[in-house]
Amino acid sequence: MKPVSQRFGPRPLLLLLALLVCCTSAAADRLRISPDDLRLRVAVSEELPPSLRREIRDLARSSPLPVENGLVQTEQLLKATFADRGWKPKRTAMVRYYFLVARLEQSQQFSDEFLRRRLLMEKGVDLLNTYLATLNRQIGRAVYTAASPVEPPQIAEFPLSEVEQSETGELKILRHYPPPDIELGRENLRTLRDFAGQEKVLLEQQLERLEQGEARFLSEVSTLGQELLAMREEIRGWVRVPGEGLPFSF
């Protein structure tokens, strides 16, 4: 059978290589890990027994990425888990490198969760602003009535799992708010406005704390990435990296 380059010419082969570069780089970016570290991780995995690789990955999955002093906590976690193995410095360094890569892979899940929570709370604030504006207009036109007092029941806590608004204007965030209706009477509309205003403040405060936590998280991810970069040359000297020397990085 003829080689690919002879059967199809050089252009399809170059396109295939370019596609591999694009796809792998996108995956690396999604995982916050460079292609060099992904290739080096493959080489390191060949030096570690399958049972140890599973143990390291399970440890990375079961231990959340810290948002402060991550490297210190990482060292403590690895020492507590593997202190009695009696490894030589080379094996210890390889395990540490493999763990850091596995931990950064978990960072994508945390990023997704930060995004999910932020979008829900931003949506909640927008819906409450609209709800409050509608209440204010209706309060100006409503009259005092003998309608039963209303108090929107609490249906959720932070972190939010969903935010809903029906076509009639019914709103579900932390509380379940009825559709704004002038027939509820001025006092009930004012009561709904008070609850909705308080909830909006809570959402804005929670959103601010979330943004601060995300900033610390991203800083920690950057620190772990720099540590991987610092370890790269040492680890590279112990293993044969697949794809090294090729004109394209994949």
pLDDT per residue of the chain (250 residues) written in tens, 0 to 9: 444 444 444 444 333 333 333 333 333 344 457 788 888 999 999 999 999 999 999 998 887 666 667 788 888 889 999 988 999 999 999 999 999 998 888 887 888 889 999 999 999 999 999 999 999 999 999 888 888 899 999 999 999 999 999 999 999 999 999 999 999 999 999 999 999 999 999 999 999 999 998 898 888 888 888 898 899 999 999 998 876 555 434 3
13 within a domain of the structure (yes/no): no
Q: 180 lies in which domain range?
A: 34-236
Instruction: Identify the pLDDT of residue 65.
Output: 67
Is residue 145 in a domain?
A: yes
Q: Note the pLDDT of residue 233.
A: 92
Structural domains in the chain (count) = 1
Kindly state whether residue 56 falls inside one of the protein's structural domains: yes
* pTM reported for the whole predicted model: 0.71
pLDDT at 66: 65
pLDDT of residue 20: 32
The two beta strands, 171-172 and 176-177, are antiparallel
Q: Are 236 and 40 in contact (CB under 8 A)?
A: yes
5 falls within a domain: no
In a domain, 169, yes or no: yes
- Determine, yes or no, domain membership for 118: yes
Structural domain contains residue 28: no
In a domain, 9, yes or no: no
